[in-house]
């Protein structure tokens, strides 16, 4: 090692000064020391270079990490902006879709459709269709003449004769008076009449071997059974479903 070589060189120098060692042997030892000193200097310089290279590599690594982090943050920010924009577009599209849809408050069958052509123009609050609710009791809206108003009250039994099916052959449909309007309205033929709602106990009538569903629009005659009086005939009125709903364009 270099310390030992240095110590030997110093010892050889003292021996040379005392005349014990020849000059040639001393020079060989000195040359060996100088070679080792030079090799050490080279190795130390190489270590310094390696340390500098290591520091540069670390600096570059940190730079790459910082740049990558900035790039990722930029991409994340851009993605968040695009996501927010797409969410807004989606909300607008859903709103437009909702505005183009008419949703009935109940399940049922469409009747009395006002618009039949695609692209048809409607005005504000214009009725577009009537929905007949599904699985709801069928009702009769009849007109009670003013002369009979004192004999009819809610809860009385009613026999409803469907004009389509002769009652002498197919029988009648039984029902109950639900309510009578408080105010009379003027009818061109009957004079003052009261609107009366009758709920049917059956939604169909037996015709031969089949039961035919009663549907809105059928003409009927309703006869209310008073205490001991003869039944009172109602004016022919169309059947209607309970809680008919009209859909309007807003």
* 26 within 8 A of 16, measured Cβ to Cβ: yes
Q: Of 137-146, 179-188, 209-218, which range is least confident? A: 209-218
Instruction: State the Cα–Cα distance between residues 218 and 8, nearest whole angstrom.
Output: 133
Instruction: State the Cα–Cα distance between residues 180 and 193, nearest whole angstrom.
Output: 10
Q: Is the pLDDT of residue 189 over 90?
A: no
Pick the more confident residue, 75 or 14.
75
Let me know whether 150 and 212 are in one domain: yes
131 pLDDT band, cuts 50/70/90, is confident
Return the percentage of the chain with pLDDT > 70, whole number.
79
Let me know whether 84 and 194 are in one domain: no
User: Residue range 72-98: average pLDDT?
Assistant: 93
Examine residue 185 and state whether it is found in any structural domain, yes or no. yes
* 128 within 8 A of 102, measured Cβ to Cβ: yes
Return the percentage of the chain with pLDDT > 90, whole number.
32
Q: Is the pLDDT of residue 179 over 80?
A: yes
Instruction: State the Cα–Cα distance between residues 199 and 88, nearest whole angstrom.
Output: 50
Q: Is the pLDDT of residue 238 over 80?
A: no
Reduced DSSP (H G I as helix, E B as strand, rest coil) percent helix, strand, coil of the chain, to 5: 40, 30, 30
Total of domains in the chain: 2
* 34 within 8 A of 5, measured Cβ to Cβ: no
What CATH number does the domain containing 182 carry? 2.40.30.170
Q: What is the mean pLDDT of the chain?
A: 81
* 209 within 8 A of 216, measured Cβ to Cβ: no
Pick the more confident residue, 237 or 29.
29
Let me know whether 169 and 230 are in one domain: yes
User: Residue range 19-35: average pLDDT?
Assistant: 69
In sequence order, what DSSP letters do the residues of 48-109 get, joined into one string? HHHHHHHHHHHHHHHHHHHHHHHHHHHHHHHHHHHHHHHHHHHHHHHHHHHHT----SS-EE
Let me know whether 78 and 168 are in one domain: no
The pLDDT tens digits for 29-49 are 677 777 877 887 888 889 999
Instruction: State the Cα–Cα distance between residues 232 and 146, nearest whole angstrom.
Output: 12
26 pLDDT band, cuts 50/70/90, is low
Examine residue 117 and state whether it is found in any structural domain, yes or no. no
Last residue of a domain, one of 71, 94, 117: 94
User: Residue range 182-206: average pLDDT?
Assistant: 90
User: Residue range 129-133: average pLDDT?
Assistant: 78
* 184 within 8 A of 194, measured Cβ to Cβ: yes
Does the pTM surpass 0.85? The reply is no
Structural domain that includes position 211? 127-248
Instruction: State the Cα–Cα distance between residues 47 and 52, nearest whole angstrom.
Output: 9
Let me know whether 222 and 166 are in one domain: yes
């Amino acid at each position: 090692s270099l310390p030992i070589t240095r110590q030997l060189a110093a010892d050889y120098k003292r021996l040379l000064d005392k005349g014990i060692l020849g000059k040639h042997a001393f020079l060989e030892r000195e040359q060996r020391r100088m070679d080792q000193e030079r090799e050490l200097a080279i190795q130390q310089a190489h270590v310094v270079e390696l340390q500098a290279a290591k520091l540069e590599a670390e600096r570059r690594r940190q730079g790459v990490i910082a740049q990558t982090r900035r790039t990722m943050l930029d991409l994340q920010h851009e993605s968040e902006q695009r996501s927010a924009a797409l969410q807004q577009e989606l909300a607008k599209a859903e709103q437009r879709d909702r505005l183009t849809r008419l949703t009935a408050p109940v399940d049922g069958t469409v009747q009395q459709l006002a618009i039949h052509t695609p692209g048809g123009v409607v005005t504000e609050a214009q009725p577009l269709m009537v929905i007949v609710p599904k699985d709801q009791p069928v009702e009769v809206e009849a007109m009670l003449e003013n002369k009979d108003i004192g004999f009819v009250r809610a809860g009385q039994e009613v026999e409803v004769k469907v004009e389509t099916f002769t009652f002498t052959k197919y029988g009648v449909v039984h029902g109950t008076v639900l309510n009578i309007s408080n105010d009379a309205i003027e009818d061109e033929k009957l004079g003052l009449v009261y609107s009366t709602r009758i709920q049917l106990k059956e939604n169909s009538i037996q015709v031969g071997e089949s039961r035919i569903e009663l549907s809105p629009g059928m003409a009927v005659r309703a006869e209310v059974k008073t205490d001991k009086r003869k039944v009172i005939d109602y004016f022919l009125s169309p059947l209607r479903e309970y809680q008919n709903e009209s859909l309007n364009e807003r």
